[in-house]
Amino acid sequence: MIPSSTTDITRAIEAILMIADEPIAPKQLAGIIGCSNDDIEIAAASLIQSYADDQRGFVLQRVAGGFRFQSHPDLAPVVERFVLDGQASRLSAAALETMAIIAYKQPISRNQISSIRGVNAEGVVRTLEARGYVEEIARDPGPGRAALYGTTPQFLERLGLNSVDELPPLGQFVPDADVVEALETTLLVNPDPVAAIDADGEASALDVAMANAAADEYAEDTAEHTDAADPDPAGDEFASDDAE
């Protein structure tokens, strides 16, 4: 059947997407239905508006370069309960952290991932590969030609994104300057007892104890160096008297 109106095209799009298990690109839809890409875009926009006006529980979403049906964002809590009900296999915190690193830093090697996380990431990367969220996308031109990893279309599908460019910017997760300064102050070990006093003129017992210990150690080191440089000051004094 060759569609003769926008209604025919919209019905055909709905029928195809209803049974598709992955997003279908506009070009592919146009080839299947027998119309132009512009006709697909117009029909898709019409469907999107129609579903919004009718307040349906699903939407037509552009994801990973194609169109698919997915649940309405407002119903995420209900869908989450349905999906997670009785589900035992979930990604660990380490896997989520590794996947985030790959998503934002791709293409990236396993060694680079391990350096960022501070632990070996080979096992976690293999898990993500098995789940279909990351894959080898290139080879490092340097020595050893290490495998470089990136995210897959399935990763975009699960997050409901059209491309990785839609990932939230990292800037919104960076702490403010005052928070960073407070962390640096908390972690700083200052050997100066005066500097250990806070802005209110008070010092904690731990600050004072650490400062005093550092000062005592410095005094002992100074005394040792002085003794080494002048092992017998009294003998020098007698020597000068004899010279006179």
Give 183-207 pLDDT, tens digit per residue: 777 766 544 544 444 444 444 555 5
Q: Are 125 and 149 in contact (CB under 8 A)?
A: yes
Instruction: Answer with the one of 141, 166, 191 that is the final residue of a domain.
Output: 166
Q: What mean pLDDT is reported for the chain? A: 78
Per-residue pLDDT, 135: 94
Instruction: Answer with the one of 166, 196, 221 that is the final residue of a domain.
Output: 166
Of the pLDDT bands very low, low, confident and very high (cuts 50, 70, 90), residue 17 is very high
Structural domains counted in the chain: 3
Find the CATH number of the domain harbouring 60: 1.10.10.10
Q: Are 60 and 98 found together in one domain?
A: no
User: Is residue 84 a part of any domain in this protein?
Assistant: no
Q: Which domain holds residue 162?
A: 93-166
Within the chain, strands assigned E span 58-63, 66-71, 108-109, 134-139, 147-151
Q: Are 138 and 104 in contact (CB under 8 A)?
A: no
User: Is residue 19 a part of any domain in this protein?
Assistant: yes
Instruction: Answer with the one of 46, 75, 104 that is the final residue of a domain.
Output: 75
Per-residue pLDDT, averaged over 210-235, amounts to 53
Of the pLDDT bands very low, low, confident and very high (cuts 50, 70, 90), residue 16 is very high
User: Is residue 81 a part of any domain in this protein?
Assistant: no
Q: Are 68 and 102 found together in one domain?
A: no
Of 74, 91, 62, 21, which Cα lies nearest the Cα of 163? Answer: 62
pTM above 0.85, yes or no: no
Distance CA 235, CA 216 (A): 29
Of the pLDDT bands very low, low, confident and very high (cuts 50, 70, 90), residue 104 is very high
Q: Are 133 and 185 found together in one domain?
A: no
Q: Where do we find the tokens 């407070």?
A: 182
Of the pLDDT bands very low, low, confident and very high (cuts 50, 70, 90), residue 169 is confident
Q: Are 29 and 71 found together in one domain?
A: yes
Sign of CA dihedral 153, 156, 160, 165: negative
Q: What is the pLDDT of residues 21-54, one digit of tens each?
A: 889 999 999 999 999 999 999 999 999 999 999 9
Distance CA 239, CA 234 (A): 9
Q: Are 23 and 64 found together in one domain?
A: yes
